[in-house]
Chain A
Amino acid sequence: MAGYNTIRGLKVNYLGEDPAGAETGQVWYNSSTGKLRLANPTLSGTWSSANACNTSRRYFQGCGSQTNGIMAGGFSPGASPPMFTQTEEFDGTNFTNGGNIGTGTYAATMFGPGTATVFAGGGDNSVFLTTTQHYDGSSWSSPGNNLPNGRNQAGGCGTQAAGVLFGGNAPSANMTATLEYNGTWSAVPGTLNVGRRSLNGTGTGTQGDCIGASGYGASGYTTSSETYNGTIWTATPAINTPRGTAMMNAEGSTTSAILAGGQNPVDQQVVTEIYDGTSWTTSGSLAASRSQAGSGGTSSAMWVAAGSPSSPSNNPAQRTAETFALVSNSTQTITLS
């Protein structure tokens, strides 16, 4: 049998402790513990309860980071009026009310940081909207650049200067079309391989580094995951649990994304999956199953709030929030058998 020296061209180092910054695949002998060790980064994470948000609601989105997050719109059957204009800002600890959007809107697409947010499309309970609004950290304004067609439940990511909006429902038709945004919406040739609504997206803030996953399409709740390079959408390894109306971190990339919750015909989900650019790994569960909720955050610190079930009486149990902390387990002990 070939030894490590033959395979790697290196001898196994004898070290007094695990080295910092070991390369993936690096092997060493830890003389303190008497263990043969392997650098094999694996991602996992845990959810923790956060302070409740202020308004129970469903079918809305969020974006921004865990310390500068934002969510807006949504609705709750029985609330008066049922369609919400409320905006809430999240600082990592508390939710505080911000400026209201102009029209009660559900299932709009949001992206951007909490101080430069885009809120586009959605529905007002009578029509699908084309309107676009910008948030500056305190109030919403209308830049006057509308979507070419109304749609709701679309995915989105990016910034006011470089945004992407894709898929969605327009109406009762699962869309594949992609729009790019730089202050003005432009239809682009790249289309999703799987038309769908109720999907999620995350990206770095450039139009060439975006990933969309999950959703509801012609074949029902999907496991499809795709990346956008600014020109075309390419299928990536599928998520493990088919679902739609899930929650995703807003500030990720094509090599780092977190997808949590959602629903499928089995039930509303608690399952969380982490994408590392190669595969989706199930890790960590929400304390409360939820879908149609607000979410945001980075690939190491995500948040979710409210969602289904909603409460017209604003019951605190239906406006809970949770935060996610990513843990990188970089070293494993090799067991010889």
Chain B
Amino acid sequence: MALFIYGTATNTGKGFFTHTDRLNFFLQGQPGDVWVVGNNEKGALWLANKNGVEKTKAEAQAIVTAEVEVAQAEWDALSDEHKAAHPGRPTDITLP
């Protein structure tokens, strides 16, 4: 699907994306500093201006999956007591 641009960009905190950005294009953050951006002029420019690096969907999915697998392994290593205190094993993520 090429409705979206996939890329990585480091979230620098407040102002990294704005309300106007959200109005201008689809924007979804994922683990591993992966961003799914609407494939239009403003979306593509936003990624470029955030020093983002465009990835193919497969590359972006691999980054997200690796991050999720690390988080799942960490959760699996928790004691039953901690698991009870922090319910909810990280679930797999499939990029749109």
Is B70 interfacial (CB 8 A cutoff)? Answer: no
- Chain B, Cβ-Cβ closest to A290: B2
Query: Which one of B47, B48, B53 has the highest number of Cβ atoms from chain A below 10 Å of its Cβ?
Result: B48
Do A75 and B52 touch across chains, with their CB atoms under 8 A apart? Answer: no
Given the interface contacts A77-B47, A125-B48, does A309 sit within 8 Å of B56 by beta carbon? yes
Q: How does the 8 Å CB contact mask read for A122-161 relative to B, with 1 for contact and 0 for none?
A: 0001000000000000000000000000001100000000
CB neighbours of B49 from chain A (8 A): 125
CB neighbours of B39 from chain A (8 A): 263, 268, 291, 308-309
Do A268 and B53 touch across chains, with their CB atoms under 8 A apart? Answer: no
- Chain A, Cβ-Cβ closest to B54: A77
Given the interface contacts A268-B2, A268-B39, A309-B5, does A78 sit within 8 Å of B44 by beta carbon? no
Q: How does the 8 Å CB contact mask read for B21-54 relative to A, with 1 for contact and 0 for none?
A: 0000000000000000001010011011100111
**Contact among B1, B3, B6, B53 for A312, CB-based, below 8 A:** B53
**Contact among B1, B3, B41 for A153, CB-based, below 8 A:** B41
Q: How does the 8 Å CB contact mask read for A312-324 relative to B, with 1 for contact and 0 for none?
A: 1001011000000
Do A78 and B41 touch across chains, with their CB atoms under 8 A apart? Answer: no
Do B48 and A77 touch across chains, with their CB atoms under 8 A apart? Answer: yes
Do A268 and B54 touch across chains, with their CB atoms under 8 A apart? Answer: no
Query: Which one of B3, B7, B41, B44 has the highest number of Cβ atoms from chain A below 10 Å of its Cβ?
Result: B41
Chain A binding surface SS class: loop
CB neighbours of B7 from chain A (8 A): 77-78
A11 to B15, alpha carbons, bound, how many Å?
79
Do A310 and B2 touch across chains, with their CB atoms under 8 A apart? Answer: no
A265 to B25, alpha carbons, bound, how many Å?
12
A103 to B18, alpha carbons, bound, how many Å?
28
A245 to B90, alpha carbons, bound, how many Å?
39
**Contact among B2, B41, B48 for A289, CB-based, below 8 A:** B2
Report the count of interface residues on B (CB-CB < 8 A).
Answer: 17
Do B54 and A267 touch across chains, with their CB atoms under 8 A apart? Answer: no
Task: Tell me the minimal C-beta distance from A266 to chain B in angstroms.
Answer: 8
Task: Tell me the minimal C-beta distance from B93 to chain A in angstroms.
Answer: 20
Given the interface contacts A107-B41, A267-B1, does A77 sit within 8 Å of B52 by beta carbon? yes
- Chain B, Cβ-Cβ closest to A310: B54
Q: How does the 8 Å CB contact mask read for A235-265 relative to B, with 1 for contact and 0 for none?
A: 0000000000000000000000000000101
A107 to B44, alpha carbons, bound, how many Å?
12
Do A78 and B2 touch across chains, with their CB atoms under 8 A apart? Answer: no
Is A41 interfacial (CB 8 A cutoff)? Answer: no
**Contact among B3, B47, B52 for A263, CB-based, below 8 A:** B3
Q: How does the 8 Å CB contact mask read for A254-291 relative to B, with 1 for contact and 0 for none?
A: 00000000010101100000000000000000000111
Is A311 interfacial (CB 8 A cutoff)? Answer: yes
A41 to B1, alpha carbons, bound, how many Å?
36
CB neighbours of B3 from chain A (8 A): 263, 265, 267-268
**Contact among A75, A78, A153, A308 for B53, CB-based, below 8 A:** A78
Do A125 and B45 touch across chains, with their CB atoms under 8 A apart? Answer: yes
- Chain A, Cβ-Cβ closest to B6: A309
The 9 A-B residue pairs whose C-beta atoms are closest, nearest first, are: A78-B53, A268-B2, A77-B47, A77-B48, A82-B48, A77-B54, A78-B54, A77-B52, A312-B53
A-B contact pairs, 20 of them (CB 8 A): A75-B44, A77-B47, A78-B52, A78-B53, A82-B48, A107-B41, A125-B48, A125-B49, A198-B41, A265-B3, A267-B1, A267-B2, A268-B3, A268-B39, A290-B2, A308-B2, A308-B44, A310-B54, A317-B56, A318-B56
